């Protein structure tokens, strides 16, 4: 016990974050493996681990039918794991500590500061986390009320309440878990439900800091210019990706999957899938029925993901914005890349490049291992490189969209996807900082020499 206490005192914020998510997944696995969690008997340990990881990492990939294979208790456990995993167990724990009137340890404060960087000047850590929790619960409550109205024709009584609460939290936390076997395909033409769910997904995918800043701007009637560079990038890149993705999906499916539908139905489906592909994993169309061109668009959106400090995975929209700014600066031969009139530091560029490289290599490695490990399952999955690549990118982006092979994965395949979901939720850089030892790095500078490229 003393050794554990000593380690906790010297552990880095990245190590504490890794430990907290690991413990939460372990507890969730044990609870889901209990006989009371299954609707018709116990859930296997591997399926319980997969489901717990998917819930904590707010991914949404499932090997079992959440609404049919899990009892009410099991569904409640999954929802609790989604909520804790979505807002971050450390952040939630810090909030509870403050509510109880106790002081958070220095290590816990470090993790909380990493989760909520000081982008809002004048706010203490205590106020920032309290405001965040109140904002999160407020949005989820509003979402549940609006969904309760929208679900009036589909459900009744307590089931209507449960469906509303479950889908509101799942949407805001970008989990993509649904109690319906066909996800939200039954509501494909329901404008009310679509708008509410899309609003919740976007809110959760923008990140807590952006939400706090927007609330501050609206409350004090300030202009867009008062937003931080971080928030400006998140909002701008999110709009570009949402609109760009929706247009491409509609173009590729206009005479395909969307043929015979009205213009408004095509617009609604294209917009919904563009929004959900970056962060959440809900679907109102059969993903496997989409054209390969549309699947490539979804792969790109899943790889980018949402905003830092949000419930989303991927390399993040800010990284995509930085890489775009670097490309434009090289094309224009500028000395330094700039965004919204602000130059970017070399350290930031290096971290962004490292993140993208690790993500690219990790996706390729896991996809390769999945291809090798799945030789014993159905021929369709065996020969489907795109399906396994899609599964891997979906796990990394903590999205949850699938071409229908998740339930067919063998034990090794499930373990590989579990690893990818964990990596995607924490982020590649967090794992690197966890493994790094303290040090200042090399101080020796070597002479430069040119190398041919391109």
C-beta separation of 185 from 285 below 8 A: yes
Task: Quote the pLDDT of residue 351.
Answer: 84
Q: In this structure, how many other beta carbons lie within 10 angstroms of the beta carbon of residue 120?
A: 16
Specify the DSSP element, H or E, that contains 342.
Answer: strand 342-343
Closest to 277 in 3D by CA, of 248, 251, 300: 300
- Vertex 397 angle, CA 116 and 28, to 5°: 75
Grouped pLDDT means (10 residues each) for the chain, 454 residues: 64 70 92 92 92 93 93 96 80 49 50 47 63 86 96 90 96 93 92 96 86 82 80 92 96 92 94 92 92 95 88 87 89 84 84 89 93 67 77 93 89 94 80 56 70 73
Residues 401/277, Cβ–Cβ less than 8 Å: yes
Per-residue pLDDT at 424: 87
pLDDT at 119: 44
Give 443: exposed, middle or buried? Use CB within 10 Å, 0-12, 13-18, 19+: exposed
Spatial contact of 398 and 312, defined as CB atoms under 8 Å apart: yes
The pair of three-digit structure tokens given for residue 173, joined into one six-digit string: 């936390």
The reported pLDDT for the residue numbered 120 is 43
- 10-117 belongs to which CATH class? mainly alpha
User: Angle, nearest 10°, between helix axes 191-206 and 125-150?
Assistant: 170
pTM over 0.85: yes
Dihedral angle at the C-alpha atoms of 71, 73, 77, 78, nearest 10 degrees? 20
């Amino acid at each position: 016990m003393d050794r554990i206490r000593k380690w906790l005192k010297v552990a880095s914020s990245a190590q504490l974050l890794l430990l907290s998510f690991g413990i939460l997944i372990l507890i969730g696995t044990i609870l889901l493996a209990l006989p009371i969690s299954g609707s018709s008997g116990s859930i296997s340990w591997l399926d319980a681990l997969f489901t717990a990881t998917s819930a904590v990492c707010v991914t949404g990939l499932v090997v079992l039918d959440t609404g049919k294979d899990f009892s009410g208790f099991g569904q409640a456990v999954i929802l609790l794991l989604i909520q804790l995993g979505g807002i971050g167990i450390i952040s939630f724990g810090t909030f509870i500590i403050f509510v109880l009137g106790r002081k958070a340890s220095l290590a816990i404060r470090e993790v909380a500061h990493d989760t909520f960087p000081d982008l809002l000047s004048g706010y203490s850590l205590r106020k920032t986390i309290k405001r965040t929790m109140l904002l999160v619960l407020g949005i989820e409550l509003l979402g549940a009320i609006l969904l309760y109205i929208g679900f009036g024709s589909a459900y009744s009584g307590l089931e209507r309440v449960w469906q509303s609460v479950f889908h509101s939290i799942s949407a805001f936390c970008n989990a993509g878990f649904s109690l319906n076997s066909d996800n939200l395909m039954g509501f494909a033409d329901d404008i009310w439900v679509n708008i509410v769910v899309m609003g919740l997904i976007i809110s959760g995918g923008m990140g807590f800091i952006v939400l706090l800043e927007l609330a501050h701007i609206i409350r004090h009637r300030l202009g867009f210019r008062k937003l931080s560079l971080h928030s400006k990038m998140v909002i701008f890149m999110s709009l570009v990706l949402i609109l760009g993705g929706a247009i491409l999906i509609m173009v590729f499916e206009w005479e395909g999957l969307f043929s015979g539908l009205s213009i408004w139905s095509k617009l609604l489906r294209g917009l919904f899938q563009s929004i959900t592909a970056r962060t959440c994993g809900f679907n109102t169309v059969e993903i496997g029925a989409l054209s390969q061109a549309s699947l490539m668009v979804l792969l790109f959106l899943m790889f980018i993901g949402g905003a830092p400090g949000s419930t989303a995975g991927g390399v993040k929209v800010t990284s995509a914005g930085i890489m775009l700014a670097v490309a434009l600066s090289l094309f224009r031969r500028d000395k330094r890349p700039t965004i919204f009139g602000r130059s970017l530091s070399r350290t930031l560029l290096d971290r962004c490049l490292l993140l993208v490289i690790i993500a690219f290599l990790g996706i390729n490695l896991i996809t390769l291992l999945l291809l090798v490990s799945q030789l014993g399952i159905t021929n369709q999955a065996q020969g489907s490189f795109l399906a396994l690549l899609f599964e891997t990118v979906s796990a990394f982006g903590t999205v949850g969209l699938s071409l229908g092979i998740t339930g067919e994965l063998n034990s090794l395949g499930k373990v590989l996807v579990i690893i990818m979901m964990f990596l995607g939720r924490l982020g590649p850089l967090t794992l690197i900082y966890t493994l790094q030892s303290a040090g200042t790095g090399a101080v020796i500078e070597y002479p430069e020499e040119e190398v041919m490229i391109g």
